[in-house]
Chains A and B, each alone.
Chain A
Amino acid sequence: MAFIELKDVSYTYIEGDEPPVTALKNINLSVEKGEMIAIIGPNGSGKSTLAKLFNGLFQPTEGSVSVGGLNTSDQDKIWDIRQQVGMVFQNPDNQLIATMVEEEVAFGPENLGLPSATIKARVDEALALVGLEEFRQAAPHHLSGGQKQRVAIAGIFAMRPDCIVFDEPTAMLDPMGRKEVMATIQKLRSEGKTIVYITHFMEEVVDCDRVIILKEGEKILEGTPLEVFQARELIKDADLELPEVPYLVYRLREAGLQLPDEILTPESLVEKLCLLN
């Protein structure tokens, strides 16, 4: 059994007298320990709803979600599950509450009731991981967007979850902030964390093990980044855009250039073009 398993999951929002809205339909999905998967889809495709199912913030309307063998609908186990699966959201301003960076990072471990020496060690370790040791006394609201998001990541990391779900963590950041956050996620990955990465930017999924594309609440495609990038028609149908380099490679191949199709970055395209001569 995989670490996280979704079986025939559907989710319907029911609010007052409004007609019910089905956000997810028959999703089957498994995530192995240590894997990094990306979930990609346009606004309204059900990505954020899916994210909230991973740690029991939402319960599926139909089907089941299990984490480490525990069913998320088992209310007795919900805190065990949330300790295993942490979440980082889009807007860092909505996630930060303390007046000092180190207090912010200590907040989660404190709530776990850990002894203060352990909390301190975990805060040190988490701040080192995200590269913000020198900001420990700083006020979170004085930091840049990328730094704030790294504080949020450190706070989750300090709780030692096995898996972290990122729900569009770069949507509100500039290119520099986005780079910082992406690099931090790669570090978490090398620490062995399981990563679920939700985005609508295809260029961000290049490094993932597996990519899942959602459209109108359904899983329409699953595969490695390379496999997914080949499915140009499906990508277009899902209102997504192929990153520019793979798209250029596709066009050059169509025009008769003998390039391999596994090119994703400017560097590898240049290398392959040079080899052609």
Chain B
Amino acid sequence: MFVELKDVYYRYQAGEEDILRGVNLGIEKGEFVALVGHTGSGKSTLVQTINGLLRPSSGQVLIEGREIKEWESPIMVRKKVGLVFQYPEHQLFEETVFKDIAFGPKNLGWSEKEIKEKVKQAMDFVQLDYEELKDRSPFGLSGGQKRRAAIAGVLAMEPELLILDEPIAGLDPRGRRKLLDRINWLNEEQGITVLLISHRMEDAARRAQKLFVMNQGQIVLQGSPQEIFEQRDELYEIGLEIPPLNEVLWQLRKCGYPVRTDIFTIEDVEEEILRHWRGFRCSKI
């Protein structure tokens, strides 16, 4: 197991309420997993324990079988586990785009030449023009460019696990699709393990092989997207909605049609409806 959490609890201060309440979770190398849950369910706290920013109040966080607190230095953990925060563009701070992206790699003690190469690669990857933008102030970039510059800063450290906390919030449909496509590419072509936090169940379902659903500091459901969307009523109870296409299938089933509800791409849903539309009479309408 690449990352493993064993019975992890977290609270900010002794006597305060637990934010994480006994989380158990495992991520294999090369997997693309998604973490979903409403605001306040503990998602952001959970991922901060995985790169060592927060230390669990009890329980264990292991990376490659070793507890984080046993690692020689926190920098080595952060080199392995790159965390892109929500609205990462708010954390840009250097005078130039180059310096901002180079900040992480510099802390790893790489040579100037290596750093330059990594920054260039990371900018290429997020589709920012190196020559045009490297000397510009990050604050003069557009919203989408800032977001990508911030992600490049994490990628430049070449993490093996990339965690992204709501990376697409505030982006338009094209920006969203492009960014998620790049993340998929990193996972498929570069073998980088990805943990994506997203409000949008449809994105989580279409991109990840496995979903973890959080509620009140615990993982309450986990499985493939197909398995998770079978639990429609359980998801509703904790304030989550299944994607609209799955809602269509669910309601059809309630009306007496034995349609599958474990599919989620538009092609599959279309095919399923076409297969059934003459089959049975609806009794409820």
Contact of B173 among A171, A240, A255 (CB under 8 A): A240
CB <8 Å contact, A277 and B277? yes
CB <8 Å contact, B270 and A251? yes
> Size class of B's contact patch?
35 or more
**A270-B172 contact, Cβ under 8 Å, with A43-B142, A175-B199, A277-B280:** no
Q: How far is the CA of A175 from the CA of B201 in the complex (A)?
A: 10
B75 at the interface (CB under 8 A from A): no
A residues in contact with B277, CB < 8 Å? 257, 273, 276-277
B residues in contact with A270, CB < 8 Å? 248, 251-252, 255
A172 at the interface (CB under 8 A from B): yes
B241 at the interface (CB under 8 A from A): yes
Interface of B is mostly: loop
B174 at the interface (CB under 8 A from A): yes
CB <8 Å contact, A266 and B251? yes
Nearest CB in chain B to that of A42: its residue: B172
CB <8 Å contact, A171 and B169? yes
A residues in contact with B39, CB < 8 Å? 144-145, 174, 176-177
A243 at the interface (CB under 8 A from B): yes
Q: Which of A246-274 contact B (CB under 8 A)?
A: 247-248, 251-252, 255, 257, 266-267, 269-271, 273-274
B273 at the interface (CB under 8 A from A): yes
B38 at the interface (CB under 8 A from A): yes
Contact of A43 among B171, B244, B269, B278 (CB under 8 A): B171
Contact of B172 among A43, A267, A276 (CB under 8 A): A43
B144 at the interface (CB under 8 A from A): yes
How many residues of chain A have a CB within 8 Å of chain B? Answer: 37
Q: How far is the CA of A239 from the CA of B171 in the complex (A)?
A: 12
Q: Which of B141-185 contact A (CB under 8 A)?
A: 142-144, 169-175
A residues in contact with B245, CB < 8 Å? 244-245, 248, 266
CB <8 Å contact, A248 and B281? no
**A245-B38 contact, Cβ under 8 Å, with A239-B174, A251-B266, A267-B251:** no
Q: How far is the CB of B102 from chain A (nearest CB, A)?
A: 26
B residues in contact with A90, CB < 8 Å? 170
CB <8 Å contact, B170 and A171? yes
CB <8 Å contact, A252 and B274? yes
A117 at the interface (CB under 8 A from B): no
A275 at the interface (CB under 8 A from B): yes
Q: How far is the CB of B61 from chain A (nearest CB, A)?
A: 26
Instruction: Enumerate 6 A-B pairs (CB-CB under 8 Å) in ascending A order.
Output: A42-B175, A144-B39, A174-B38, A255-B274, A270-B252, A274-B285
Top-6 shortest CB links A-B: A274-B282, A239-B174, A270-B251, A266-B247, A42-B172, A200-B172
